[in-house]
Chain A
Amino acid sequence: QVLLQESGPGLVKPSGTLSLTCAVSGDSISGRNWWSWVRQPPGQGLEWIGEISHDGSTNDNPSLKSRVTMSIDKSRNQFSLKLRSVTAADTAVYYCARVTLAGPPLDYWGQGTLVTVSS
């Protein structure tokens, strides 16, 4: 069974950097799948942030204006997200999820972690 678990600070100051990690079990992050981040502001819908492959290739949402950096750590079987210059509008539940190559997209999700941007 594939499990994903997000971790990171639940509170970030405005203009700071949001940093999250997603630990993966039951699948190798070095394989052919991609690994994605999705967020959901309170009471709102889902927004795709971006995704990263095993070789570090990335795609990200242009609406986030290049504030996003994603990375993978094969030794720990986890991947990470950094979002710079955060504002209150970045307050959301952040999910990590798996995208299978040529298969179901976003088929396994983490439980999500709430990140609040506030001073």
Chain B
Amino acid sequence: QSVLTQPPSASGTPGQRVIISCSGSSSNIGNNPINWYQQLPGTAPKLLIYNNNQRPSGVPDRFSVSKSGTSASLAISGLQSEDEADYYCAGWDDSRNGRVFGGGTKLTVL
């Protein structure tokens, strides 16, 4: 059971906007920045968004994050076939004094 809760799957067609949710608590999302990782099949995770809404160099602005209270959402607009991957939310948890991940959401581009 992951500390952060994500839906196990999401899907969309090319060009659509897809939203992936991440729910936590006051000891993690509610009090610390949220980060998102993208994991393409057979590869290591890649940092997608950090500090709530910062994109590393090379990450397109089709990826954005919103956060409210103890929940956050990753939005992917203009969905492309290469976006098909697993997406993980993550952050620091004060009560555990450590990093926590969501269970991951498998995004399928139909």
Contacts and interface: CB of A to CB of B under 8 A. Distances in A.
Interface of A: 36, 38, 45-48, 50-51, 59-62, 95, 103-107, 109-112
Interface of B: 2, 35, 37, 39, 43-47, 50-51, 54, 56, 88, 90, 92, 96-104
A46 B104 contact: yes
Q: Mostly helix, strand, loop or mixed at chain B's interface?
A: strand
A107 B56 contact: yes
Contact of A46 (B54, B88, B97, B98): B88
Contacts of B44: 95, 109-112
A105 B50 contact: yes
Nearest to A63: B96
A62 B95 CA distance: 11
Contact of A59 (B43, B51, B88, B98): B98
